[in-house]
Amino acid sequence: MLQDLLTSKEPSIRWKARVHVLGEDRDSKRIRALEEEIRKSPKVRALLSRRHELGKSGTARKVYYKWQGVHWVLASLADLGYPREDSSLHAIRDRVFEFWLRPNFFREFEADTEAEAYRGEGVPMIRGRARRCASQQGNALCSLTTLGLADERADALVERLLHWQWPDGGWNCDRHPKADTSSFMETRLPMLGLAAHARDHPSSEVSRAVERASEVFLRRRLFRRATTGQIIHRDFVTLHYPLYWHYDILGGLKAMACIGRIRDPRCSEALDLLGSKRLPDGGWPAQRRFYKVRPTTFEANSDYVDWGGTGSRRMNEWVTVDALVTTRRPRRMVKTLGEWDRIGFSDFGPHNLDLEPRDFDGQGVRPFDDFSDGGVDSEPKILDHCSGDRRSFNASLSVLSRGRKSLEDVGDIVYPTVVECT
């Protein structure tokens, strides 16, 4: 399988296999030549097809609009192995810094209720916790640092993330007063952003913050509730690419590998579960996806490129190379499907989700406010954070009363952030 990836038509797949799986030096002549090939690749050309339009100041829609705003373009380029320190991306970089360091992110106000939290201007503080979608600043910090584009403004992103970190080590934007547990979705990207910054600018404070954030995942073995051991949400045990701001076990394991905690024994079950999903040809599938392909139109939840599609029995190169990154060092993958049956995993399905309203942390139904991108879906339903629909969290939960089929079919609530209540 590795040989197949090393000869892939996609230069970014070859780059990931060489740099992340085989550990080749990114500064070597061969890897630099491969990065130049990536720069000219069809996927990169598609991602940057609107760089001159989106890099200019204007509407917030150009920055965060999912998944075509420059925020997401930079995230994709960072993951693809795009060459570092490309000055032609400075306009986009400046736009992203400007957007995520706006004055409102430095303004806080106290709120006692969810309604008060939505009425105020700035970052609401409820019961001592900042209710902020830190995945946004975290993703920007990670992308810009990985691409070698971060400058002194990155320190402000780091300061905000440290300031907003919750007592349990993570982050959460849920404005319900009873929410007291960090969100997997809102914690993964800040953790990675801080870790990337700490590699270039060693800091004991930032390193401690990364370690604390990792415990949010490790305490739950990357996909189980700390209190009951039940699987938190079915999408956590389903493979996707790209993840964007979402979460699954592959994203969790990649994060643990990135910060050096993949050998922690609490990763073992997730590694075994990932191994059970391996196909007979040695690859892994993308079981679901979070995007539509719209290369020429600006449309919510769309990407410029096709990342290989989905199929339970068809290998996806992007998922496969990332899976190999997580398994290279641990050398695990010992569980068989039979073993999963014996521990009850085969019983897990939509009928066993037993979702309660407080399983959602609010990111799944976040209304339009000062933190949003201003983009409006042409067919607004139950929209996730920064998507533009002005609906309260509690009102939006009415979708659950229509049964499981509605939960699966309603566009943007298919992949809600899930709170592991303790």
Closest CA to 140 of 131, 129, 151, 127: 151
Q: Rounded distance, CA 194 to CA 335, Å?
A: 33
- Quote the pLDDT of residue 51: 81
Q: Do 21 and 155 fall into the same domain? A: no
80 and 14 in a single domain? The answer is no
**Same domain for 290 and 390?**
yes
Radius of gyration, CA atoms only, the chain: 20
Could you list the residue range(s) of the whole structural domain that residue 23 is in? 1-40
CA atoms within 13 A on the CB side of 192: 30
Give every CB contact of residue 88 below 8 A, 6+ residues apart in sequence: none
pLDDT at residue 83, rounded to an integer: 98
Q: Are residues 5 and 57 in the same domain?
A: no
Q: Are residues 152 and 289 in the same domain?
A: yes
Q: What is the DSSP letter of 103?
A: G
Alpha helices (H) in 244-314, listed in sequence order: 249-258, 268-276
Long-range contacts of 45-53 (CB under 8 A, 24+ apart): 46/295, 46/304, 46/305, 47/73, 47/76, 47/77, 47/304, 47/305, 48/73, 48/77, 49/295, 49/304, 51/89, 51/91, 51/92
Domain membership flag for residue 190: yes
Residue 267, beta-bridge partner list? none
SS3 177: coil
Q: Give yes or no: residues 264 and 347 share one domain.
A: yes
Question: Which pLDDT belongs to residue 352?
Answer: 34
Q: Is the residue at 281 inside a domain?
A: yes
Do 170 and 182 form a contact (C-beta atoms < 8 A)?
yes
With vertex at residue 387, the alpha carbon angle to CA 409 and CA 89, rounded to the nearest 5 degrees, is 120
pLDDT tens-digit profile, the chain (422 residues): 899 999 999 999 999 999 999 999 999 999 999 999 999 999 999 999 988 777 666 666 789 999 999 999 999 999 999 999 999 999 999 999 999 999 999 999 999 999 999 998 999 999 999 999 999 999 999 999 999 999 999 999 999 999 999 999 999 999 999 999 999 999 999 999 999 999 999 999 999 999 999 999 999 999 999 999 999 999 999 999 999 999 999 999 999 999 999 999 999 999 999 999 999 999 999 999 999 999 988 899 999 999 999 999 999 999 999 999 998 754 444 343 444 344 334 333 333 333 333 333 333 333 323 323 223 233 333 223 332 233 333 333 333 333 333 322 222 222 333 333 33
Residue 135's nearest CA partner among 152, 168, 103, 160 is: 160
What CATH number is associated with residue 313?
1.50.10
On whether both 92 and 10 belong to a single domain, the answer is no
Does residue 131 belong to any structural domain of this protein? yes
Q: Are 387 and 193 in contact (CB under 8 A)?
A: no
Predicted pLDDT at 192: 98
Same domain, 149 and 226: yes
- Shared-domain flag, residues 35 and 145: no
17's tokens: 């296999």
Residue at 71: amino acid letter: H
Classify burial at 233, counting beta carbons within 10 Å of its beta carbon; exposed 0-12, middle 13-18, buried 19 or more.
buried
Q: Are 22 and 148 part of one and the same domain?
A: no
Count of structural domains within the chain: 2
Given this model, what pLDDT does residue 416 score? Answer: 33
- Exposure b/e, 294-312, CB count within 10 A at least 16 = b: beeeebbbbbbbebbebee
CB atoms inside a 10 Å sphere around CB 265: 8
Do 12 and 82 belong together in one domain? no
> Which own/partner contact pairs does 382-386 have at CB distance under 8 Å and 24+ positions apart?
382/410, 382/411, 382/412, 382/413, 383/412, 384/412, 384/413, 384/415, 384/416, 385/133, 385/173, 386/64, 386/66, 386/133, 386/136
CA dist., res. 141 & res. 161, Å (int): 10
Q: Are residues 134 and 16 in the same domain?
A: no
CB 111 within 8 A of CB 126: yes
Tally of CB atoms within 10 A around 328: 15
In a domain, 2, yes or no: yes
The C-alpha atoms of residue 146 and residue 77 are separated, in whole angstroms, by 9
